[in-house]
Amino acid sequence: MTKNSAKIRTFRLQTVSHLAYCILTLAHLILTDLPRAKRLQGFAFFCIYFVLLCARWDYGKDVAVAQIINSCMDFEKKLVAGKRSLNENLESKLMKLFLQVTFFSVIATAFAIIGLILLDPCLPPFLLSVRDDCGSITWTSALGAQHLTFLLDTWMAFHVLPGGTLEIIYILFVGIVSMLNYFAVIRGDIQEAQGSAEFETCTKVYRNIQILEKMFNGFLMVYLIPVYMLLLPTLQILTQYVSLMMHDEIPMPSFLIFPLVWLNVFVNNIFVITLASWVNNVSTMTFKEQVRAIVHSGVGTRRSALRKGATACAVLKIKFGSNFIDSATPLVIQNFCLAQTVTLILIGGSKKGR
């Protein structure tokens, strides 16, 4: 965490301006009489900006993010100390690829927003669309309010998109894969364990992972997971409907934003949520393997104490509210998104038929 007062003031300026921007754009979408296509376009961008606001909001300089990252790094040094080099598993390879695509998508989206505003100043929810004369704006005229507003939209895009994405990537995405890798290490140790000291070490490592999970959920449940689980399915429904039913109402290249956003959100809702559900599944398997290995081991009189120590551990899970992400969650989300998209298509078709 930086102690540089200038950097702290800059960060707070960015987060407060981000909040004000979201409030202004939402008010514009709700209170202004916009065509349906424009309103849906604007709401898609608003969802993206609001998710990123929730991810990066830290006006009070909460140290939770730094604590989680530092704790994981310290734990990993102790976990792999003295062990042979670990092979990179499939989920780690896929996540590395996904992170590279995500970074590219973030930068591409920021530049796409600039291009869309230049081509269509009336594109909501951006600030120029608030003006009644946005359709007559020209960029070749003398420097005026439209140029300053465009610079403000550009500044917002380039600090909101990368800034909000960092917490999502380095806490949610990387955190989930790190936990799965920790379980891969401890499961290998359980298979090789023979004496009571080795089983005690495995139990201690499992409890350390439990502590990291508490820190992990403590940040995610407050800042990210609730809005992530609510708005990303909403965004998927919206972009699916627009891509299927409104391709003739939204001119190019503005329309291309919807398939691009849909692809990113769909991969998030399938890949990331599936990996999050594996934390619970793999934790359950590790827990059972630990107890089974102790029961079938030849540790003699220590067996009962070791078994009680192992069974006192809890199964880990990624939580949102009072619920948690399990193996059925990705399928439930996709079933919900598909059902709501079909409902919107049927409602839209019935209105056109009147």
* Amino acid 346: pLDDT: 86
Is 244:337 a contact under the CB 8 Å cutoff? Answer: no
Residue with tokens 């003006």: 131
* Amino acid 59: pLDDT: 67
Select from 90, 284, 273, 281 the least CA-distant residue to 206.
284
Select from 125, 238, 115, 225 the least CA-distant residue to 168.
225
How far apart, in whole angstroms, are the C-alpha atoms of residue 292 and residue 345? 52
Residue with tokens 């390879």: 93
* Amino acid 349: pLDDT: 67
* Amino acid 298: pLDDT: 64
Tokens of 112: 């796409």
Query: Over the Cα atoms of the chain, what is R_g?
Result: 24
Mean pLDDT by 10 residues, the chain (354 residues): 75 89 92 83 88 81 78 84 73 88 87 86 86 81 84 91 85 88 87 82 88 86 82 90 82 79 89 91 89 75 78 85 85 93 81 58
What phi, psi does 65 have (nearest 5°)? Answer: -60, -50
Side-chain-side CA neighbours of residue 236 (13 Å): 23
Residue with tokens 């895009």: 157
Non-local CB neighbours of 112 within 8 Å, separated by 6+ positions: 257, 260
Non-local CB neighbours of 89 within 8 Å, separated by 6+ positions: 180, 181, 184
